[in-house]
Structure 1
Amino acid sequence: MLWQTEQQLEDLICKLVSFDSRTGTEGEISFPYLLKDELMKLDYFRSHSEYIELHDAGKKRNTLTALYKSKKAVKTIIFISHFDTVHTGEFGAVEDLAFKPRELTEYFKSISHDFKESIRHDIESDEYLFGRGTMDMKMGLALQMHLIEKAVIEEWPVNLLLTAVPDEEVDSAGMRTAAKCYESLSEKHSLNYSLMLNCEPSFTQKPDDENYYIYTGSIGKMMPSALFYGVETHAGEPLRGLNANYMASFLNRKMEFNNSFKETHFGETTPLPITLKTYDLKADYSTQTTNHVASLYNVFTMKQTEEEVFSTFNRITENAASEMNTHYQHLCEREHASPVGEVKTMTYKELKDYTVNKIGSAAVEALINKYSQYRHLDDRTQSFEVVNSFINQCKELVPLIVTFFAPPYYPSVNNSDDPLIQDIVSFTKSELKNDDIDTNVVHYFNGISDLSYVTYDADDKSYLTYIDNTPMWGYTYTVPFSDMQKLQAPFINIGPFGKDAHKISERLHKKSAFTVTPRLLARMIQKFFTA
Structure 2
Amino acid sequence: MFWESQKQLEELVCRLVSWESRTATEGEILFPFKLKDELAKLEYFQQRPEYLKHHDAGRKRNSLSALYRHETASKTIILMSHFDTVHTKEFGSSSRLAFSPYELGRRFKEIADDFPESVRADILSDEYLFGRGTMDMKMGIALHMHLLEKAIANNWPINLVLLTVPDEEVDSAGMRTAVTHLKDLADRHTLDYALFINSEPSFTQYPGDPNYYFYSGTIGKIMPSVLFHGVETHVGEPLSGLNAHFMASFLNQQMEFSNVFSETVYGERTPLPVTLKYYDMKTDYSTQTSNHVAAFYNVFAMEQNAEEVFTKFNQLVEETMTQCQNSYETICQREGVHPVGQIRTLSYQALYDYMLRKHGQMKIDEIVTQYIARDDLDDREKSMHIANRMITYCKELVPLAVTLFVPPYYPAVNTSEAPLVRGVSRVVQEFLDTNYGIIPKEIHYFNGISDASYTAYDSHDASWQTYKINTPVWGETYTIPFESMQNLQVPHVNIGPFGKDPHKLTERLHKQSGYEITPKLLEAVVKYCMNAP
TM normalised by structure 1 equals 0.99
Q: How does 1:437-516 map to 2 (within 5 A)?
A: 437-516=438-517
Q: For each residue in 1:377-429, what CA deviation from the matched residue of structure 2 results, as whole angstroms up to 9, or x when unmatched? A: 11100000000010011111111110000100000011111121111111111
Secondary structure of 2:260's match?
A: helix
Tell me which residue corresponds to 2:194. 194
Report if aligned partners of 1:262, 1:272 keep a CA contact under 8 Å in 2: yes
Tell me which residue corresponds to 2:86. 86
Tell me which residue corresponds to 1:148. 148
Report if aligned partners of 2:134, 2:508 keep a CA contact under 8 Å in 1: yes
Q: For each residue in 1:192-245, what CA deviation from the matched residue of structure 2 results, as whole angstroms up to 9, or x when unmatched? A: 001100000001111111110000110001100010101111111101111010
What is the alpha-carbon distance in structure 2 between the residues aligned to residue 127 and residue 507 of structure 1? 10
What is the alpha-carbon distance in structure 1 between the residues aligned to residue 329 and residue 516 of structure 2? 68
Question: What is the identity, as a one-letter code, of the residue corresponding to 1:116?
Answer: P
Task: Give the number of aligned pairs.
Answer: 531
Q: How does 1:507-526 map to 2 (within 5 A)?
A: 507-526=508-527
The CA deviation at 1:307 is 0.8
Report if aligned partners of 1:90, 1:504 keep a CA contact under 8 Å in 2: yes
Matched, 1:70 2:70: yes
Tell me which residue corresponds to 1:417. 417
Report if aligned partners of 1:157, 1:530 keep a CA contact under 8 Å in 2: no
Q: For each residue in 1:254-275, what CA deviation from the matched residue of structure 2 results, as whole angstroms up to 9, or x when unmatched? A: 1111111000000000011111
Tell me which residue corresponds to 2:250. 250
Gaps of 5+ in 1: none
Q: For each residue in 1:284-326, what CA deviation from the matched residue of structure 2 results, as whole angstroms up to 9, or x when unmatched? A: 0111101000111111000111111110001111101111111
What is the alpha-carbon distance in structure 2 between the residues aligned to residue 253 and residue 94 of structure 1? 39
Report if aligned partners of 2:458, 2:486 keep a CA contact under 8 Å in 1: yes
The CA deviation at 1:530 is 5.2
Report if aligned partners of 1:303, 1:412 keep a CA contact under 8 Å in 2: yes
Q: Which segment drifts farther, 212-221 or 175-184?
A: 175-184
Q: Which segments of structure 1 move beyond 4 Å, counting only runs of 4 or more?
A: none
Q: For each residue in 1:483-511, what CA deviation from the matched residue of structure 2 results, as whole angstroms up to 9, or x when unmatched? A: 10011121100001111100111000111
What is the alpha-carbon distance in structure 1 between the residues aligned to residue 366 and residue 189 of structure 2? 42
What is the alpha-carbon distance in structure 1 between the residues aligned to residue 475 and residue 258 of structure 2? 31
Question: What is the identity, as a one-letter code, of the residue corresponding to 1:449?
Answer: S
Matched, 1:235 2:247: no
What is the alpha-carbon distance in structure 1 between the residues aligned to residue 20 and residue 508 of structure 2? 16
Gaps of 5+ in 2: none
Secondary structure of 1:261's match?
A: coil
What is the alpha-carbon distance in structure 1 between the residues aligned to residue 145 and residue 329 of structure 2? 65
Report if aligned partners of 2:424, 2:528 keep a CA contact under 8 Å in 1: no
Q: How does 1:9-408 map to 2 (within 5 A)?
A: 9-408=9-408
What is the alpha-carbon distance in structure 1 between the residues aligned to residue 389 and residue 445 of structure 2? 38
What is the alpha-carbon distance in structure 1 between the residues aligned to residue 206 and residue 528 of structure 2? 33
Q: For each residue in 1:24-46, what CA deviation from the matched residue of structure 2 results, as whole angstroms up to 9, or x when unmatched? A: 11100111111111111111111
Q: What's the C-alpha RMSD, in Å, of the aligned pairs? A: 0.9
What is the alpha-carbon distance in structure 2 between the residues aligned to residue 416 and residue 479 of structure 1? 23
What is the alpha-carbon distance in structure 1 between the residues aligned to residue 94 and residue 209 of structure 2? 27
Report if aligned partners of 1:127, 1:509 keep a CA contact under 8 Å in 2: yes
What is the alpha-carbon distance in structure 2 between the residues aligned to residue 215 and residue 491 of structure 1? 9
Q: For each residue in 1:143-186, what CA deviation from the matched residue of structure 2 results, as whole angstroms up to 9, or x when unmatched? A: 00010000110011111011100010011110101112111111
Secondary structure of 2:38's match?
A: helix
Report if aligned partners of 2:427, 2:524 keep a CA contact under 8 Å in 1: no
The CA deviation at 1:91 is 1.1
What is the alpha-carbon distance in structure 1 between the residues aligned to residue 380 and residue 180 of structure 2? 23
Question: What is the identity, as a one-letter code, of the residue corresponding to 1:215?
Answer: Y
Q: Which segment drifts farther, 159-168 or 176-185?
A: 176-185
Report if aligned partners of 1:14, 1:100 keep a CA contact under 8 Å in 2: yes
What is the alpha-carbon distance in structure 2 between the residues aligned to residue 184 and residue 399 of structure 1? 49
Secondary structure of 1:260's match?
A: coil
Question: What is the identity, as a one-letter code, of the residue corresponding to 1:252?
Answer: N
Secondary structure of 1:12's match?
A: helix
What is the alpha-carbon distance in structure 1 between the residues aligned to residue 399 and residue 490 of structure 2? 49
Secondary structure of 2:87's match?
A: coil
What is the alpha-carbon distance in structure 2 between the residues aligned to residue 208 and residue 494 of structure 1? 20
Question: What is the identity, as a one-letter code, of the residue corresponding to 2:528?
Answer: K
TM normalised by structure 2 equals 0.99
Q: For each residue in 1:33-92, what CA deviation from the matched residue of structure 2 results, as whole angstroms up to 9, or x when unmatched? A: 111111111111111110111111111111111111111201100010000000011112
The CA deviation at 1:125 is 0.8
Report if aligned partners of 1:415, 1:491 keep a CA contact under 8 Å in 2: yes
| Percent of matched pairs sharing the same residue | 57
The CA deviation at 1:528 is 2.1
What is the alpha-carbon distance in structure 1 between the residues aligned to residue 275 and residue 135 of structure 2? 29
Question: What is the identity, as a one-letter code, of the residue corresponding to 1:500?
Answer: D
Secondary structure of 1:356's match?
A: helix
